Structure 1
Amino acid sequence: MRIRATVAAVSGALALSALAVPAAQADGSSSYRTDVAKVQEAAHAATGKTAYTGNTGPSGEPYDLDVTFSNIKVNAGKAIPVGTTKQVTVPVTYTLKHGSDVDITADDFLTGPYLYKGSFDAPDNTLFGDYAASCTATSATAASCKGNVDIYPEELFNSDAGAWKAAALAIAYNGQDPDDDDIDLSKVGIADQGGFTSPNIQRYSRLTVNASPEPVKKGKTVTVTGLLSRANWDTGKYAGYTVQPVGLQFRKKSSSTYTSTLKTVKSDSKGNLKTTTTATVDGYFRYNFAGTSTTPAVKATGDYVDVQ
């Protein structure tokens, strides 16, 4: 079953809570995602924003918690490639500032980062961590926090590749049980702040190369084929990345450095690559893809050709 943790597609806090949990976490090892989703949706529904209306969950509206966030850094600023099967854990650091009446050391105070696609008021998709962040006080009203966003490929669609934004939230339950269907949310405080920079989430890429014939006589033609593919989140498989420029490079057997691009080849309608070159000396051929905003750069492992 594919899962999309988008608040725009469902109504009611309980419905959102169920959808927000990837299959890998459905065993109850962490209820953080579901607990956060319940309170977050109720808070947004109270503002009248259309993406969160229709709340049929617990009574009451959470109050505004005196907490703000800054200095959010996602994955040390590096792009986030995601394949088709493996969970990707993305580290996030941020600063939390709070009022003197907010006890961030309370057992039922939770904070954590998340990523969202589209607008903050009506996101197309949201990605949370499996567990709350941990914070270390730096003053009486500030703390340095570290958390993760856990990305599962089944949460993503191909249209999600590219730009995302970062956000953070904090919830003070104040003795209320988040697992209680009759929780009084008016006694629960929430702070939710977005608009922070995040690196792109990308469809993981693969690149192969094969140079033939092997061996080959000096001055004869070498045919170099390959395949440029990337994760297809819609199908859970890899598919060819079409009509993309890919550089052909060469390094001599005696060298550890590849030359500048010999020529540029475009992948065909199935992601295949094919070109020819002249054999001169023993060495390795490889394809080199520079990457795009939705797909990371990748280099093929060099294929050796013996020139006789």
Structure 2
Amino acid sequence: MGGSLRAIPTGAVLTGVLVLSVSAVAAPAAYAVETGVVVQKVSVNGGKPIVLGTSQTESFTISVTASDDSGISSKLAFFGIEREVGEDYWSYHGTPTCTASSATTSTCKLTFKLDPGWGVPRNTLAGPWKVIIQLQSKDGDLYNNGGTLTHPVLRRGKLSVDAGPEPVAKGKSLKVTGKLTRANWDRRTYAGYTNQPVKLQFRKAGTSTYRTVKTVRTNSTGNLSTTVTASADGYWRWSFASTSTTSSVNATGDYVDVR
């Protein structure tokens, strides 16, 4: 479901349905200045950044645990996450499902499932998004956080690696190449991420920990290339730490036999 340019009426959007807008969304207003509703816990995507690619189906959940002496009602409940940069605006929003754990406390959840055809925003909107939470108690008190909470929504990063020659003689040079790309939401494709520091890491065969050997910057097309001295059998990978707009990513290790 999509294309809404106004507030979604209570009950019109079910959990698991994406609602997105390219125009401002007017969430129901919180009229009560004082409220007895106490928000105990907020979880957006399990505490991890929301990372969106280009064509695959994505999903994330907003979960809020709240209490009131009269209990929490599902009436006027509204969750959303949104960002506006210049003329670009995007919003995922809808009505959560609230489940009572006691007479006073409920946990309300809304899961967003993005359609792979049109469910990603503009590149300019990667970064911190406002999280909108509105709840109502059974005796009529309204709670609205006013969008004071933010959560990162990032473009997905991808990394490749290739180490060779394979096998290689001990003490000889080993060339390690790769490419760092990231989701281009505007064009629905992946493009090279330029001039970014990426760590080259090695995990010796029989061990479980990677160690950083050196840091290399991507070139003007996102490519990586360096040489190292082969010393032992093991796995080589590139590791990118993330930026304010792009997710962290580790390449799958490439095993090299050293003889």
Does the C-alpha gap of structure 1 residues 165 and 307 become closer, same or farther in structure 2, counting only changes over 3 Å? same
Judging by fraction of residues, say which structure has more helix.
1
Matches for 1:66-215 after TM superposition, within 5 Å: 70=39, 71-96=41-66, 104=73, 109-118=75-84, 124-129=89-94, 132-136=96-100, 138-139=102-103, 143-152=106-115, 154-169=119-134, 192-215=144-167
CA distance in 2, matches of 1:276, 1:239: 24
Q: Is the contact made by 2:18 and 2:92 (CA closer than 8 Å) also made in structure 1?
A: no
Judging by fraction of residues, say which structure has more strand.
2
Correspondence 1:225 to 2:190? no
User: 1:138 Cα shift?
Assistant: 3.9
**What letter is aligned with 1:165?**
K
Q: Is the contact made by 1:88 and 1:150 (CA closer than 8 Å) also made in structure 2?
A: yes
Q: Specify the structure having the higher radius of gyration (Cα).
A: 1
Does the C-alpha gap of structure 1 residues 270 and 288 become closer, same or farther in structure 2, counting only changes over 3 Å? same
Q: What residue in structure 1 maps to residue 253 of structure 2? A: 302
SS in structure 1 of the partner of residue 232 of structure 2: coil
Q: Is the contact made by 2:66 and 2:72 (CA closer than 8 Å) also made in structure 1?
A: no
User: 1:253 Cα shift?
Assistant: 2.3
TM-score (norm 2): 0.75
User: 1:230 Cα shift?
Assistant: 1.2
Correspondence 1:262 to 2:213? yes
Cα deviation, 1:152-195, whole Å, max 9, x if unaligned, reads 56341111111112112359xxxxxxxxxxxxxxxxxx875422
Cα deviation, 1:269-288, whole Å, max 9, x if unaligned, reads 11110001111222221111
CA distance in 1, matches of 2:112, 2:200: 36
Q: How many residues of Structure 1 are paired with residues of Structure 2 in the alignment?
A: 240
**What letter is aligned with 1:111?**
A
**What letter is aligned with 2:5?**
L
Q: What residue in structure 1 maps to residue 139 of structure 2? A: none
CA distance in 2, matches of 1:253, 1:154: 42
CA distance in 2, matches of 1:192, 1:158: 29
- Unmatched 5+ stretches in structure 2: 20-24, 137-141
**What letter is aligned with 2:130?**
K
TM-score (norm 1): 0.64
CA distance in 2, matches of 1:123, 1:137: 40
Correspondence 1:244 to 2:196? yes
**What letter is aligned with 2:48?**
K
User: 1:89 Cα shift?
Assistant: 2.4
Correspondence 1:16 to 2:5? yes
Q: What residue in structure 1 maps to residue 230 of structure 2? A: 279
SS in structure 1 of the partner of residue 255 of structure 2: strand
Question: Identity, % of aligned pairs?
Answer: 38
Q: Is the contact made by 1:67 and 1:96 (CA closer than 8 Å) also made in structure 2?
A: no
Matches for 1:53-64 after TM superposition, within 5 Å: 64=31
